[in-house]
Structure 1
Amino acid sequence: MAEARTIRTDRTWLIALAASMWGLSAIWRDPLAKQFPSVAVVFWEHVVLVALVSPWLVGAIRAVLRASWRTRVSVLVIGAGSSALATTLFTSAFRLGDPITPQVLQKLQPLIALLLAALLLGERLRRSFAWFALPALVGAWLLSFPDPFAVGVTNLYAAGLALGAAALWAAGTVLGRAASAELAFTQVTTLRFAVGLVALAVIALVGDTPLRIGVGAAGSIVVLALVPGLLALLLYYRGLRTTPASRATLAELAFPMTAALVGVSVLGGSLDGSQWVGFAVVLASVVGLALHERAGERPAVAVSDRAEDAIPVRR
């Protein structure tokens, strides 16, 4: 029954679409990160986001208060960690180098998410999953560095920030799937932004970080909040409700692919030959996984697509 449902309801493609929209954020985030503190940029981004989702806020709070303890903890980690702290680390990474590196160094995120999905959600991977996961990880590595066998110290330092964000985002993928068993996708999105805003205010207060930004930055902040923020996450959590986390985390590799294209075409970056090979391998792996899970007789992830069926509620 679960496998038959996979063919009809899998939305791996929707996760990939949302992740592609995240990759567009460099167009606006890169110049902002060079002018203002990272916490300030992400704080005002969340202010706009909370204003946009305010009509759903009261209902979302009521829903999470009625939910299980697991869902409440998931929402707190998603908001404070995956939304606030991870985005701050990610924005900080732009200060250390070119506009491509901070975004493509996400290759450990799928591994972390796969481990968490198995431990926390009981997702089971068939052997066929390796045909998509291994090439995707190799492709992500090739895409990350001009010379994949010679990584400099500067790149490693930038990678530390990017991979810290990746670990938090991986947790957000798995816990977002868990929260979707009890909350609507609009509620998860709303709570993510609201909890994230509170966490950012605390981070700014503890770190004595000035939150003032120039009026000229307002337009970029609003666009960041609307497109890679609200629209992308609404699509993401809609897809995650009917897409196992193990599958979703590979689809999220559409993020570094889009980021690489943006870096080359808009921000003046460049890719070497091996990086273009990596780009093609990641693209083929993500598209192949989406097609396989939607139309294959035996899905690579052996779990019900519907979060409420796959994840029992524990109060």
Structure 2
Amino acid sequence: MQKLLKLDKSWALGALAIMLAALLWSLDGVFIRPKFYVLPAELVVFLEHALGFLVLGPFIFLSWPRIRLLKTKEWLAIGWVAFFGGALGTIMITKAFFAAVGGEVTFATVVLLQKLQPVFALVMARLVLGERLRRSFYAWALLAVGAAYFLAFGKTGLKLAEINLGHSAAFYAIVAAFAFGSSTVFGKRIVNHLDFKATAALRFGVTSFLVLAYSLATGSIFSITSVGRIYWQYLALIVFTSGALAMFIYYYGLKRVTASAATILELFWPFSAVALDYFINHNVLSPVQLAAAGALLLAFLKIVVAEKAPKFEFSSKVSGGIGRGRRLGFPTINLDNDKIDINYGIYLVESEINGKIYKGLLHFGQKETFAEPASLELYLKETVLGIGDEIIKIKEIKKIREVKKFASAEELKEQMKVDLRELG
């Protein structure tokens, strides 16, 4: 009971959202996508993203004031997610599964190699985002990855003779694993700085244009005349299950958890796929699979309940500003934010300057009130003289609120007075 009271509700809600998205993805792989076997993979990917963009597109217009203030770093992340996660990854995994459906290669080859995805994601989350979680998380992550393998191969066993690494499908599966794993990491960078609804819409929009260009280059777009009524119905089903809806839910969750946690929680996909296979096709699980399923559920439970979003710590160099904070009566220290990958917000922090600790408020986010890009600014309760180009260490105490747009500078000043109460 005491542990439940300490539950990080935002983290838990985000984790459950990612698991729900993974459940929807399992419907795609088991029941829907194989039905498109006769069509070019890139055509299928284009149509599902184009239709998804029609649904999500309005969120771009609603979030345009923030989108237009994005920096190059965020646009590069959007491009990465659209190209690798939306276009390349989806085309590669579709080609791999089509090869398996056609009997060219075993499903074991595709499944085994595609499960490298969490490995890619965990490594990149550390290198790109600097994520450092508790040791307990990595222990549960290792258990989850191992259990996922036993869940997939626990009935027939992993017969290495059936694994054809020389077939193109093996290459497709590895590329898909890297593409999806890396897009989780760069997707986290985007949702840290943009609304999850707009993030999903941008992913589908940019991906649609990329895959359309590829489909035109290969000529596969002209196979659209072969898409009969039943396929359009299946495409509509994808949009409102494993496609646009799933990604909408997924980015809602990714906003609240780390990329490392997200990639492990995505393993709910093989768990739910096996569960659906049991309930719908009555394929009984072996004792090994049952044990693996139990281990996966335990890992999920621990990550959802026992883990929480880590407090950030970073060092940043003092940079120049335009002096608006001083004119408003709240002088701030401007900091370099090029390497900062935390959620936008107003935070209560501790800062270390020249070996001394000061309590302060940290603003990180776009200045929508003045239609300006993101800034990282530190307000200190105490006056600190002689600050030059020092490196300041910042440690989060807690998040106070989200960054928001105010109707005027006066309204902003009133909110800042409220925020300052946190300093005591």
* Same fold at TM > 0.5: yes
Larger Rg, first or second structure (1 or 2): 2
Query: Please, which runs of 5 or more residues in structure 1 have no aligned partner?
Result: none
Q: Do the aligned partners of residues 293 and 182 (structure 1) sit closer, same or farther apart at CA in structure 2, a change above 3 Å counting?
A: same
Contact residue 77 and residue 186 of structure 2 kept, 8 A: yes
> For residue 150 of structure 1, what is the aligned residue in structure 2?
160
Report % sequence identity: 27
2:137 is matched with 129
Q: Distance in 1 between matches of 2:283 and 2:231?
A: 23
Q: Give secondary structure in 2 for the equivalent of 1:216.
A: helix
What pairs up with 1:209-220 in 2 under 5 angstroms?
Answer: 209=220, 210-212=222-224, 213-220=227-234
TM-score (normalizing by structure 1): 0.85
Q: Structure 1: how far apart are the matches of 2:76 and 2:6?
A: 29
Q: What amino acid is aligned across from residue 39 of structure 2 in structure 1?
A: F
| Residue identity opposite 1:28 in structure 2 | I
Q: 1:126 Cα shift?
A: 2.1
In 2, the alpha carbon distance for the partners of 1:222 and 1:103 equals 26
For 1:7, the equivalent position in structure 2 comes to 8
Which residue type is aligned with residue 297 of structure 2?
Answer: L
Aligned length: 306
Is contact 1:60-1:188 (8 Å) kept? no
Alpha-carbon distance in 2 for matches of 1:16, 1:121: 22
Deviates more, 1:253-262 or 1:42-51: 253-262
Q: Does 1:247 align with 2:261?
A: yes
CA–CA distance in structure 1, aligned partners of residues 68 and 88 of structure 2: 24
Aligned match for 1:238, one of 228, 252, 256: 252
Gaps of 5+ in 2: 314-340, 348-363, 366-373, 376-424
- Aligned position for 2:77: 74
Residue number in structure 1 paired with 2:218 = 207
Q: Structure 2 vs 1, CA of residues 282 and 162 (structure 1 numbering), >3 Å: closer, same or farther?
A: farther
2:195 is aligned with 1:184? yes
- State the SS of the aligned residue for 2:344: helix
281-290 or 41-50, which moves further after superposition? 281-290
What secondary structure is seen at the aligned counterpart in 2 of 1:293? coil
Of the two structures, which has the highest relative contact order with CA contacts closer than 8 Å and spacing of 6 or more?
A: 1
Q: RMSD of aligned C-alpha atoms?
A: 3.1
SS at match of 2:257: coil
- 8 Å contact 2:45–2:90 — kept in the other structure? yes
Q: Deviating runs (4+, > 6 A) in structure 1?
A: 267-270, 312-315
- Name the one with the larger helix percent: 1
Aligned partner of residue 228 in structure 1, secondary structure: coil
Counterpart amino acid of 1:205?
A: L
Deviation at residue 14 of structure 1 after TM alignment:
1.6
Correspondence list, 1:1-315, <5 A: 7-10=8-11, 11-26=14-29, 27-32=31-36, 34-60=37-63, 63-97=66-100, 101=108, 102=110, 105-145=113-153, 146-148=156-158, 150-154=160-164, 157=167, 158-209=169-220, 210-212=222-224, 213-266=227-280, 273-293=287-307, 303=312, 307-308=343-344
Q: Relative to structure 1, is the Cα distance of residues 291 and 307 closer, same or farther in structure 2, using a 3 angstrom cutoff?
A: same
Range 89-98 or range 247-256, more displaced = 89-98
Q: Residues of 2 paired with 1:263 and 1:44: CA distance?
A: 27
Normalised TM-score (structure 2): 0.65
Deviation at 1:100, TM superposition (A): 6.5
Contact 1:61–1:191 (CA under 8 A) maintained in structure 2: no
The 1:109/1:262 distance shift into structure 2, 3 A limit, reads: same
Closer/same/farther in 2, CA of residues 6 and 190 from structure 1, 3 Å limit: farther
Paired with 1:173 and 1:9, the residues of 2 have a C-alpha distance of: 19
